[in-house]
Structure 1
Amino acid sequence: MPGRPHEEMLLGGLAAVGAGFFTNPLEVVKTRMQLQGELKARGHYAVHYRNSLHAIYTIFKSDGIIRLQSGLVPALWYQLFMNGMRLGSYQIMTNLGLLNGSDGKVSFLKSILGGASAGCVGAIVGSPFYMVKTQLQSRSASSIAVGYQHGHGSMVEGFTGILKEHGIGGLWRGVTGAMLRVMIGSAAQLTTFSTAKEYILSLKVFNDTSILIPFCSSIVSGIVLTVFMTPPDVMCTRLYNQGVDANGKGLYYKNLLDCGIKIMKKEGPWGFYKGWGPSFLRIAPHSVLSLMFWDQLRKTYENLYHKHIEIDIPDSVKSSE
C-alpha cells in the first residue's frame, strides 16, 4: 500500500540518515582527498593522504579520532532533507505509475528522468547542509590541511556566520554543483536499483520478500553510482569549500563551468577522480545501506498500515464479507 507524500519522504530520509551515520568517516576522507592538491599539477603539492587507509590513520594521528566524524550533524540533516525529498519524490512517481512503460514494467528512460528530477529537488533543499558539512570536514590541523580552511567549528556557527556575512543567498552558493552531482548520481542509482531489482525478482532465485534482493540490487547500483558521480562530486566539493570575497564571490571558481575548466587545465582528467577510492568505499556501502533501509522501512510501514486497517474494520463489516 503506497504511503502519502510526506510519509514517503520521511521513510526515504530516515533510511539515508541511518546509512549516513556509518559512512560519514569515509565522507570526511573523501572530502580531504578531493581537496588535496587543488588546482596544482601532480608532483607539485604535498601528499598528506596517500589512500583511504593512510588518510584515516593521518586524521586519527593529527586531528584525533573524533574528527573522523567531522560534520556529522549537518551530514545527517542533509541526508534527511535531501534524500527525504529525493527518495520520497521518486517513490511517489513509482506509486503513480509515472515510471512505467506501456507494458506496465519499469521504463529505463523514464527512470532516468524521474531519478534526475527527484535528485535535483533534493539537492536544492539540502544544499545549505551539504555546504556546511563540507567546510567542517575539510577543517584540520595545519600540518595536514588541504583546501580553504573555514573558521566555524559547528553547524550552528557555520549557518550564523554565512547568514551574517552573505545573507540567506550565501547558504545556496555552489548549489549548481550539487544539482549536477545529485541529478547524475540519483539517475544512476535509482535507475539501476529499480531495474536490477526487477530483473533479480524475475530470476526467481530468491524469495520475493528476501532481503538479498535489495542487497544485490544495491551493490549493482553502488558500482554504477561511483563511476558516474565522482567527477561532479569533486566539483561540488570544490565549489562549496572555496573561500569567498567580501561580495560573496568565489576566490577560486566563478561557477560550475569555470570549476570544471580549471580542474582540467591545472590537474588534468585525473583531477576529476581524486578521492575515487574513498568515494567508492563510501558510496557503495552508503548506497547499499540507504536503499536496503529504505526498502525495509517501506515494507515495515506497509505491514503496520495493513495491520492498522485490519484492526479498524468493524465486526459487522467482517461478518458480511
Structure 2
Amino acid sequence: MAAAACAMTSTSIVFNPLDVVKTKLQTQNQLSTDSSKRVYDGAVHCVRRVIKEDGFVKGLWAPGIVASVVRDICNGGIRMGLYPAAVRAVHAQVPWGEKQQAAPNFATRVLAGLLTGFSGALIGNPTDVIKVRLQAEAGTVANGVYITGLYKGQAPSPTTFSCLAELVSSGGWFRGVGANCARAALVTSGQMSAYDQTKRILEKQSATGPFQYEGVRIMTASFVSGVTAATVAAPVDLVRSRIMDDRQRPGQTAAYKNALDCAWRTVKAEGPFALWKGWVPSYLRLGPHFMVSLPLLEVLRTQVFGLGTM
C-alpha cells in the first residue's frame, strides 16, 4: 500500500492540471445544450483561457492539489496497493478446476479491481468531494468573489480542511458516494485488469522482438490500461463530478436527487454522448498518469519494498 500511495501521489501532483480541465468541462453548462452559455469550448480552449485569466499555477496546477494528495494517500494506496492481495483472495474462492495450480483468469482480475476500487473510493470519498468542488470553481478572486471561471460572482470555498469540516456539519460527508464508488470500481477494474492481462499476453510473445524486455511490456500494458479505464469510467466519472459539484448553498436546492437522476437528466437534456464529456482531458490525465504511476509502482515494489512485480 505504501508503494502504491507514493506512486499515485507523485503522479497526481504532476498531472493535476489535466484533472482540473476535465472537471471544469464536466461541470459547466449542465442540463443545457445552449453552447452560448459555455465558458470553455473544449480542452484546448479551457487550458488557454484559464492560463490567460488566472495563470498556470493558480488556475491549473494549484486547484484541489491538497485534497488530491490526501485522496491518493488513502484511496490510491487501497485501490492499487491491495490489488495483488485481492486477486489472490478472489482466486482462492473460485469453485472450478485446479484453482491452486491455475493462474488467476481475467474475470478474477476484473472482480479484484472492482473490490479494491470500491473500497478505496468509499474511504476517500470526502476528499474527492472537496477536490472536485475546488477544481470546478477555481478562478481569480477580487473583493471576495470570483471574477473568472465557472463561478464568477460567487464567493470562493474555504481551504481544503475547512471544507472537510463544513462537509461534516452539513451532512455532505458522503455526497456522491455511489457514483464515486462506481467510478473508482470501474477505473480500477479497467486499469488493473487490462494492465495485468496485457502483461500476461505479452509475456507469452516475449521470446523475440521488443516484448522480450520487461520495460517494454510494462509501458505497453500501462498504455492499454489508460485507454480502457478512461473509456469504461467516463459516464460514471461525469455523473460523479456533477453530483459532487452540486452544492447546496443557503436558499438553494440540489439540482439532482441521486446518481441515476443525474445520468437520466443529462442524457435527456444533452444527449447520450454528453456522458463522455471530458473524455479527452480524462484520458490525457489517466493515460500519462498510468504510464508513469504503474512503472513507478513496479520499481517501488521491487527495488524499495522488496516485493514481487504486480
> Same fold by TM-score, threshold 0.5 exceeded?
yes
TM-score category by the smaller chain? 0.7 to 0.9
Contact between 2:121 and 2:180, CA under 8 Å: does it hold in 1? yes
Task: Report what 1:266 is aligned to.
Answer: 269
Q: Does 1:12 align with 2:4?
A: yes
Task: Report what 2:119 is aligned to.
Answer: 121
Structure 2 CA distance for aligned equivalents of residues 148 and 182 of structure 1? 33
Q: Which stretch of structure 1 is more off in the superposition, 46-55 or 221-230?
A: 46-55
Structure 2 CA distance for aligned equivalents of residues 88 and 236 of structure 1? 23
Contact between 1:136 and 1:150, CA under 8 Å: does it hold in 2? no
Contact between 1:115 and 1:190, CA under 8 Å: does it hold in 2? yes
Task: Report what 2:109 is aligned to.
Answer: 111
The DSSP-based 3-state class of the residue aligned with 1:122 is helix
Contact between 1:264 and 1:271, CA under 8 Å: does it hold in 2? yes
Structure 2 CA distance for aligned equivalents of residues 199 and 207 of structure 1? 10
Q: After TM superposition, give the deviation of residue 148 of structure 1 in Å.
A: 11
Aligned residue identity for 2:91: L
Q: After TM superposition, give the deviation of residue 82 of structure 1 in Å.
A: 0.7
Q: Does 1:40 align with 2:42?
A: no
Q: Does 1:83 align with 2:76?
A: yes
Q: Does 1:162 align with 2:153?
A: no
Task: Report what 1:50 is aligned to.
Answer: 41
Aligned equivalent of 2:287, options 263, 284, 287: 284
Q: Does 1:197 align with 2:199?
A: yes
Contact between 1:234 and 1:273, CA under 8 Å: does it hold in 2? yes
Task: Report what 2:237 is aligned to.
Answer: 233
Partner deviation per Cα, 1:142-174 (whole Å, 9 max, x = no partner): 44316996732421221122223x1xx422111
Structure 2 CA distance for aligned equivalents of residues 19 and 148 of structure 1? 33
Partner deviation per Cα, 1:164-189 (whole Å, 9 max, x = no partner): 3x1xx422111111011011111111
C-alpha RMSD over aligned residues: 2.5
Q: After TM superposition, give the deviation of residue 64 of structure 1 in Å.
A: 2.2
Contact between 2:205 and 2:211, CA under 8 Å: does it hold in 1? no
Q: Which stretch of structure 1 is more off in the superposition, 90-99 or 193-202?
A: 90-99
The DSSP-based 3-state class of the residue aligned with 2:37 is coil
Q: Percent identical across equivalent pairs? A: 26
Structure 2 CA distance for aligned equivalents of residues 208 and 98 of structure 1? 28
Task: Report what 1:210 is aligned to.
Answer: 214
Aligned equivalent of 2:246, options 242, 245, 263: 242
Change in CA separation of 1:147 and 1:203 when aligned onto 2, cut-off 3 Å: farther
Contiguous gaps of at least 5 residues in structure 1: 1-8, 307-321
Partner deviation per Cα, 1:67-122 (whole Å, 9 max, x = no partner): 21211010111111111111122121245572788352231111111110110000
TM, length-normalised to structure 1? 0.83
What number of residue pairs does the alignment pair up? 292
